[in-house]
Amino acid sequence: MELIQYALDNIDLLASRTLEHIALVGVAVGLATLTGVPIGIAITRNERLARSVLYAASIIITIPSIALFGIMIPILSLIGHGIGYVPAVIAVLLYSQLPIIRNTYTAINNVNPALREAARGIGMSPNQRLRMVEIPLAVPVIMAGVRTAVVLNIGVMAIAAYIGAGGLGTFISRGISQSDPRQLIVGAIAVSLLAIIVDYALLALQKRLTPKGMERAASTA
Amino acid sequence: MIRLDSLTKVFDTPKGAVVAADHISMEVPSGEICVLLGPSGCGKTTTLKMINRIVRPTSGKVFINGDDTTGMDTQTLRRSIGYVIQQIGLFPNMTIEENITAVPRLLGWDKARYRERARELMAMIAMEPDAFLKRYPSELSGGQQQRIGVARALAADPPVMLMDEPFGAIDPINRAVIQDEFLKMQQALNKTIMFVSHDIDEAIKMGDRIAIFREGRLVQYDTPDDLLTAPKDAFVESFLGEDRALKRLNLVKVREIVSDEIGSVSPGDTLETALTRIEDFGYSNAILMVNDKRQPAGIVSRSVARTTKGYCRDHFQSVPAAVHLDDDLRKVASLMFAHDITWLPCVDDDGRVCGQITQRAITSHLGSRYRAHQAAMGTADAAAKE
Amino acid sequence: MPIQSMKGALRALLLLAVFAAGVWSHASGIIDDFLWHLPDVQYLAVEHLWLTAMSGSLAIGTAIPLGILLSRPSMARWAESLMQVLNVGTTIPTLAVLALSMSFLGIGTVPAIFGLFVATLLPIVRNTYAGLKGVSPALMEAAAGIGMSPAQRLFRVELPNALYVIFAGIRTALAINIGTVPLAFLIGAGGLGELIFTGIDLYDPVMMLAGAIPTALLAILVDALIAAIAFFVVPRGVNPAR
């Protein structure tokens, strides 16, 4: 009861921090999609390169976020952005690479060889194959990668409150430092709900972006 | 016309170079279907795929309608050749209409023209345009999908088509139906077609010519009849099978060896007349009875005619079977075996009797080719001796 | 060839950079600062690993039996909806899990281990369940057909065939676990997070790095260790990695 009261009393703050959270994750994952998808497509042309890129991305994602912040702050301080949203956005960008690159790469690589041969056989150029066949077929899987990245990074962004990036994590950090369970719990629940809701919303988007003829195939996959 | 000139493919594998196709030279005349046949790994598919450069030739040339394709742009070349593959390869993200208009759209046709073409194509493959054009491949059965696959290959009306085991993934019953439909279409379209198969029966049915491959080489290239009559070596012989003479039955229509001469009685004739006719025509067992439209109505047996008095209409047995002029001899032979008889009446489109076919005539027709072949071999041997 | 020479140049450049960094750090006395933190790093790293080992083994020990239980035919009615709940659970950020754990259990090691345990549990249950459900029905029918008891089927057919997927779950889970351990400091459980967070508060870059670099290295090492164990433990016939 006390919690609901607190949440209602601070509804404006809650809303603005939620928006801040969404905006930071959205911008960063958006940027990550712009880099990750082309990289994922490019590395389908060279298997050795693909292995090194995916390996590097999987190492990066293994590094705990707070450790990544700890490493980035001293470096970014050199250009005057040690704390705040710059390191947070960079971290989200980096963490997003693995799910997005990996899913793009896998999806394009898994396009049925018979379709690829049919596309070549009827005289599509490599770019036409990519645009008319491979990318449309890969979109659902790429979207799944984006979704994974977004959910993961909603969590990372919560931690980024400790380096002054704002967002819903601020409630949790203040809750802990001020020993205020109301802020703590409201923050934790808010960030959890955000992750769950965004996950479902992106799942719905993913289904809408699935080419119509593939719905059955996608639902059995 | 498709002409291959010393077409060769060498694959570099970790175990060394493998010659998949070794100096293949052959020519498919315009409007004919040539079936490339052989066991797996014999080079037939590689040869086919070198024509539209899905496999890049190591050396040699491909001519289409007399033009060397070597200098042509790959995409342009492919758009001018129809291509059908076993896995069908319809794009699941596109509707049926988008699939079959893929090549016209690549060629930059305007919308009205390619939509019109889509409807034409659907009519050609006997599928209702309004019911199917807006649907997706996943909503169609395997047989329907492959028809669409063929329609897609025909979309830009290419003079030449390449088909890689196109009906291989379809169940036997539907396969026969689609093969028949395709042959009918081909009669109207007159495409020059190369067709890969591993099924000898399909090759005999579809091919105007058959090319037998083995270990990357073209072993024999002949019409089905010549191939079955005179296999060039032991490999071709064993590949065609011990029953290859029977397979020739598929190639001959009743029309070709039917004998116009057939004695018959009508229901109103007496059994005495029937006996006389049986003797006159030299039939050993029975004579055909026809109705006033000359349709087969029954048979009167010699023993009944000899021992009984009365009219034919009261003393006949039912006709075991009759064959149509366009049936092949395989069906005839099968009916003869099934009913333990040595002759069958033949009927035309209206069901009227127009002749008969006998076991003797079949054996003699098949045998004449072998005799001719042996005689030719004999003179060749004699010529070689001199 | 140009790629080869580019690689060579890149490697030379990298070596030069490392060397320059070494010279600079020596000159600025940063290495001495690091060494000053060394005893702390050692002590906290042990604490760090202990948190992972404790919560991780508890989670594995609970999650696998739970996954097996859910995959039994008798549980089929509940399993799917329960998996849905677990899937929702995995989207909850780990900081929120720790924060909630603290608000109910207070501060210290116990709430930290409990929070880590929960965050680690879910992916393993999910993969155990999915792995067992993914065993081909033909295989199960064959196993039943040759007269294996349900227990024999589980231990001789289902688990060996699901092992690769289960290990993938363990690897994901422990990556989440070791990524969350530094946050355990926030609820009073120690670990290398102490150096990072204190470093951030005091704006002491050396302290931050003294915490962050070992944290990153530990995470990469643990991940590699699990991958290596999976590589050797999962039978070759059902191990795509081999």
Percent of chain C with pLDDT over 90: 23
ipTM rounded to 2 decimals: 0.84
Rounded Cα distance between A204 and A140, Å, is 11
Q: Judge whether C93 and A151 are in contact, CB under 8 Å.
A: no
- Evaluate whether residue B368 is within a structural domain: no
C177 and C132 inside one domain:
yes
- Residues of C whose CB is below 8 A from A67: 182, 192, 196, 211-213, 215-216, 219
C127 and C12 inside one domain:
no
CATH of residue B80:
3.40.50.300
Long-range contact pairs involving B174-180 (C-beta distance under 8 Å, separation at least 24): B174/B142, B174/B143, B175/B202, B177/B143, B178/B143, B178/B146, B178/B147, B179/B205, B179/B206
In this complex, is the C-beta atom of A114 within 8 Å of any C-beta atom belonging to chain B? yes
Q: How many CB pairs under 8 A join A and C?
A: 120
C20 and C43 inside one domain:
no
B205 and B285 inside one domain:
no
Which residue stretches of chain B have pLDDT < 70? 380-386
- Evaluate whether residue B371 is within a structural domain: no
Residue-range definition of the domain harbouring residue B278: 255-363
Q: Judge whether A151 and A199 are in contact, CB under 8 Å.
A: yes
Amino acid identity of residue A160, one-letter, is A
Rounded Cα distance between C9 and C11, Å, is 5
Instruction: Quote helix, strand, coil % in chain A, to nearest 5.
Output: 85, 0, 15
B49 and B194 inside one domain:
yes
- Pull the structure tokens for residue C151: 């227990």
pLDDT tens digits, C146-196: 888 888 889 888 998 899 899 999 998 998 898 899 999 988 888 888 888
C1 and C71 inside one domain:
no
Report pLDDT for B10: 94
Q: Judge whether B200 and B239 are in contact, CB under 8 Å.
A: yes
Q: Could you tell me where the DSSP H helices lie in chain B?
A: 44-51, 74-79, 96-100, 102-106, 111-124, 129-132, 142-154, 172-189, 200-206, 224-229, 234-240, 244-248, 254-257, 271-281, 302-307, 329-339, 359-385
Percent of chain A with pLDDT over 70: 96
**Beta-carbon separation of A118 and B76 below 8 A:** no
Rounded Cα distance between B1 and B28, Å, is 6
B13 and B130 inside one domain:
yes
DSSP state of A178: T
Coil, strand, or helix at residue B168? coil
For residue C103, give the nearest of A62, A64, A181 by CB distance: A181
- Residues of A whose CB is below 8 A from B93: 133, 136-137, 211-214
- Evaluate whether residue B382 is within a structural domain: no
Coil, strand, or helix at residue B20? strand
Last residue within a domain, chosen from B235, B252, B269: B252
CATH of residue C199:
1.10.3720.10
Q: Judge whether C40 and C195 are in contact, CB under 8 Å.
A: yes
Report pLDDT for A218: 44
* Alpha carbon of residue B351 to chain centroid: 25
Q: Which of C25, C87, C95, C171 to mutate to test the interface with A (most CBs of A within 10 A)?
A: C95
B274 and B261 inside one domain:
yes
**Beta-carbon separation of A188 and C223 below 8 A:** no
Rounded Cα distance between A91 and A72, Å, is 9
C142 and C124 inside one domain:
yes
- Evaluate whether residue B22 is within a structural domain: yes
Q: Judge whether C193 and C207 are in contact, CB under 8 Å.
A: no
Å between B231 CA and nearest CA of chain A: 34
- B217-222 vs B209-214, strand pairing mode: antiparallel
Q: Which residue has the tokens 């029309």?
A: B255
Nearest CA in chain A to C195: A70
For residue A121, give the nearest of B52, B138, B139 by CB distance: B52
Nearest CA in chain B to A211: B93
What is the tally of structural domains in chain B?
Answer: 2
C109 and C195 inside one domain:
yes
C67 and C18 inside one domain:
no
- B2-13 vs B81-85, strand pairing mode: unpaired
DSSP string over B107-141: TT--HHHHHHHHHHHHHHTT--HHHHTTS-GGGS-
C150 and C207 inside one domain:
yes
For residue C208, give the nearest of A74, A172, A199 by CB distance: A74
- Evaluate whether residue B383 is within a structural domain: no
CA distances from C170 to A109, A193, C51, C60 (A): 27, 26, 16, 7
pLDDT tens digits, C5-52: 667 777 888 888 877 777 776 666 667 776 777 888 888 889 889 999
Å between A219 CA and nearest CA of chain B: 12
Report pLDDT for C89: 86
Q: Which of C91, C102, C192 to mutate to test the interface with A (most CBs of A within 10 A)?
A: C91
- Pull the structure tokens for residue B362: 């079949």
- Pull the structure tokens for residue A163: 């380096």
- Minimum mean pLDDT range among A66-75, A95-104, B93-102, B179-188: A66-75
Last residue within a domain, chosen from B252, B272, B303: B252
- Evaluate whether residue B33 is within a structural domain: yes
**Beta-carbon separation of C96 and A64 below 8 A:** no
What is the tally of structural domains in chain C?
Answer: 2
- Evaluate whether residue B282 is within a structural domain: yes
C17 and C87 inside one domain:
no
Report pLDDT for B121: 93
Tell me, yes or no, whether chains C and A touch by having 3 or more C-beta pairs under 8 A: yes
Q: Is the pLDDT of residue A220 over 50?
A: no
- Evaluate whether residue B349 is within a structural domain: yes
C105 and C197 inside one domain:
yes
- Pull the structure tokens for residue A213: 């003829």
Q: Which of A24, A62, A182 to mutate to test the interface with C (most CBs of C within 10 A)?
A: A62
Instruction: Read off the pTM.
Output: 0.79
C12 and C53 inside one domain:
no
- Pull the structure tokens for residue C183: 């946050």
Name all chains with 3 or more CB-CB pairs below 8 Å to chain C: A
Residue-range definition of the domain harbouring residue C94: 37-238
C15 and C118 inside one domain:
no
Average pLDDT over residues C77-81: 86
Q: How far apart are the first and last CA of chain C?
A: 31
